[in-house]
């Protein structure tokens, strides 16, 4: 059984990840109304990633026999400016993940620390991507042609992810709609939220991580 404080923080984080998805859908809707399909697509992808994060945490709690309470998801603030607010929100989420990690460390909950390792790295990537988008907007956003090219770049369809056939271990494409969050044998997320493309496959886990 997981530590009670750690379990509660993880349960709270499930709600916050769903809120993050809701917030990014709000940003996506804003850009749809502005006629910027690329930016709308980018934030829609972010929304899906946040939903996947929530599902991973929910699954982790269930795998450890912890009852999950699903609270109401707050309405996102429509007055927020998408790009700057996106970075600030990711920094906030990073602080939440770090707080859970700290609680797990204090409780000597090494299983949860190992589970959260992926989220710590993921948040670094999320903040970098949000910062990069802001920098690109500062460079090109004031020029209609530059904004158009940036929007077109963000509108590119994401490639289908690749996984391994469980029988032959041969790589094969997978329809994105059917790729669900997964935990490996050690209870760790084994694909990156970045475009839902696997970072590594279950049979490629580092030997020194145990499991």
**Average pLDDT estimate for 145-152:** 90
Is the full-model pTM beyond 0.85? no
Residue 90 CA: distances (Å) to CA of 16, 17, 55, 64, 76: 11, 11, 18, 27, 15
Q: Could you report the per-residue pLDDT of 65-115, keeping only the tens digit for each? A: 999 999 999 998 867 788 889 999 999 999 999 999 999 999 999 999 999
CA distance 11 to 71: 9
Least confident of 34-38, 131-135, 140-144: 140-144
Which pLDDT does position 188 carry in this prediction?
57
Separate counts of helices (H) and strands (E) for the chain: 5, 2
Query: How much of the chain exceeds pLDDT 70, in percent?
Result: 73
Q: Is 30 helix (H, G, I), strand (E, B) or coil?
A: helix
Q: How far apart are the first and last CA of the chain?
A: 17
| Residues pairing with 172 in the sheet | 163
């Amino acid at each position: 059984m997981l530590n009670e404080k750690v379990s509660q923080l993880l349960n709270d984080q499930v709600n916050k990840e769903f809120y993050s998805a809701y917030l990014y859908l709000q940003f996506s809707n804003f850009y749809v109304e502005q006629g910027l399909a690329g930016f709308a697509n980018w934030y829609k992808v972010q929304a899906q990633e946040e939903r996947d994060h929530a599902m991973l945490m929910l699954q982790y709690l269930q795998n450890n026999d912890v009852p999950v309470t699903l609270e109401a998801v707050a309405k996102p603030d429509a007055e927020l400016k998408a790009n700057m607010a996106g970075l600030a929100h990711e920094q906030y989420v990073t602080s939440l993940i770090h707080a859970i990690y700290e609680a797990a460390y204090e409780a000597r909950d090494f299983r949860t620390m190992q589970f959260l390792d992926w989220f710590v790295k993921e948040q670094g990537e999320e903040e970098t991507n949000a910062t990069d988008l802001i920098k690109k907007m500062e460079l090109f956003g004031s020029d209609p042609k530059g904004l158009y090219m940036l929007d077109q770049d963000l509108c590119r369809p994401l490639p289908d992810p690749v996984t391994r056939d469980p029988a032959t271990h041969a790589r094969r494409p997978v329809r994105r709609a059917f790729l669900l969050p997964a935990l490996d044998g050690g209870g760790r997320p084994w694909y990156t939220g970045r475009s839902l493309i696997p970072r590594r496959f279950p049979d490629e886990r580092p030997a020194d991580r145990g499991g």
